[in-house]
Structure 1
Amino acid sequence: MTRLLLVDDHPIVRAGYQRLLEMDGAWRVVAQAGSVDEALDLHRQHQPELTITDLGLPGRGGLELLRQLTERDASVRVLVFSMHEGEAMVRRALAMGARGYVSKSSPPQELLDAAACVMTGCRYLCSGLPAHWLQPLPPQGDPDGLETLSDREFEVFRLLARGLTPADCAGTLSLSSKTVSNLQTQIRDKLGLASTAAMAHLALRRGVIEGG
């Protein structure tokens, strides 16, 4: 059976899709995590063959987990299972190394299909999302400039848009205040935005953050 790590900050959700996966008979959940730090520790301990993670994790979030896992091992298999369906978030996760992306609004069977597909070495995008999102976006296809942001800039952008202060971002991402300040300036320059409120408006419109 394929060994899995499940990452979601809601224990009931984790229990639900553990049951779904293990009933299929091809999967065994070896560990569960509710945060980025816990997931990184458990991944190191258990070396799962597949990690299934939400993006909406507390603190640094699932993109940071994805970044760190792929930095450790470029061949790591990560399947995103998330409520986020915005193009910017989906494309960013895939560009950062996710092997597949499944929306939490998908039918249960789709999670099983996606996991099986990823384990064969293929990439997977759930049926509710446009298939062309699996392909890189040409520069002219991104008038807002989000694709020009580095992975670190994108994560700082996401946190600032959620209402965190630069000091909060520094603590959350274990960066210096000066680094975050420089990143904030770079983000504003690349996106042509003058304020954090404008960042939040763009992030909401592109599905990077959810509305309250």
Structure 2
Amino acid sequence: MKTDKIKVLLVDDHMVVRAGFRMLLSCQDFIGEIVDIDRGELATKAYQNFNPDVVVMDLSMPGIGGLETIRRLCKCYPHVLILVYSIHDERIYVERALDAGAIGYVTKNSAAEVLAKAVGVIASGKKYIEKGLLPESPEIRLKHPTKNKHKLNVLSPREFDVFRLLSKGLNAHNVANELSLSYKTICNYNTQIKNKLNASTSAELANIAMVHNII
């Protein structure tokens, strides 16, 4: 049984969230040192230097974003234990996070004790999905990842981030600023996304997003 206190790496671009997370977990006697960073680009190096027991990851961040960060961490460190802590409670976000390599998911609207419990469960190597986020048993869902033909499964993690913002009505310049990418890069992603989803207009992208409860 694990006796050492749990070391946590928190990846979230909002300073207030990170401060609140520290305050919450500092009250837990099973939590030890907490290191926080504000961008996914720093996660691999931070993991190497800090060697945390659990990584708590936001999804909606500038730069490479949470999904791509999860994928990179899992590629570099196959035994990494990642808990997603996100505002998104739609099933597609949960599924994409799990498919990227996370083994837990809780929402930022959950009670404080839920997050603390989730960190403890994840640290023990077990899976934890906040109740109600998936219709089926979390254990079944995680042992048998979805292989359905969900239309948005064709999008890469970064394409999904761009799609989510475009479907909300942001233009290419706004999306570029939000994700810290160039305008040209966003335009290229926009073309790729429309080709993959067989959409020709922004209105069609918005419609697809509404059908899948993205907006």
Normalising by the smaller structure, the TM-score range is 0.7 to 0.9
2:126 corresponds to? 122
2:136 corresponds to? 132
8 Å Cα contact 2:172/2:183 also seen in 1: no
Closer/same/farther in 2, CA of residues 191 and 172 from structure 1, 3 Å limit? same
8 Å Cα contact 1:167/1:177 also seen in 2: no
**Aligned-partner Cα distance in 2 for 1:175–1:121:** 39
- Aligned positions of 1:1-212 closer than 5 A: 1-132=5-136, 134=138, 135=141, 136-139=145-148, 142=150, 145-161=151-167, 163=170, 165=172, 172=179, 181=188, 184-208=190-214
Q: Unaligned regions of 5+ residues in structure 1, if any?
A: none
Closer/same/farther in 2, CA of residues 204 and 57 from structure 1, 3 Å limit? farther
The Cα offsets for residues 134-193 of structure 1, whole Å up to 9 and x where unpaired, read as: 4233425x3xx1123343443443354353529965x95879958973x54443233221
The SS at the match of 1:115 is helix
Q: Unaligned regions of 5+ residues in structure 2, if any?
A: none
8 Å Cα contact 1:9/1:33 also seen in 2: yes
The SS at the match of 1:132 is coil
8 Å Cα contact 1:160/1:166 also seen in 2: no
1:15 Cα offset (Å)? 1.8
8 Å Cα contact 1:30/1:46 also seen in 2: no
The Cα offsets for residues 69-88 of structure 1, whole Å up to 9 and x where unpaired, read as: 11211211110011001111
- CA RMSD of the aligned region, Å? 3.1
The SS at the match of 1:12 is helix
8 Å Cα contact 1:156/1:180 also seen in 2: no
The Cα offsets for residues 92-140 of structure 1, whole Å up to 9 and x where unpaired, read as: 0110001100011111111122112212222111013124284233425
Letter paired with 1:4: V
Q: What is the total number of aligned residue pairs between the two structures?
A: 205
8 Å Cα contact 2:9/2:36 also seen in 1: yes
Letter paired with 1:193: A
Tell me whether 172-181 or 150-159 shows the greater mean CA deviation. 172-181
**Aligned-partner Cα distance in 2 for 1:178–1:79:** 29
Letter paired with 2:200: A
Letter paired with 2:206: A
Q: Percent identity among equivalent residues?
A: 32
1:58 Cα offset (Å)? 2.4
Letter paired with 1:117: V
Q: TM-score, normalised by structure 2?
A: 0.79
**Aligned-partner Cα distance in 1 for 2:57–2:192:** 29
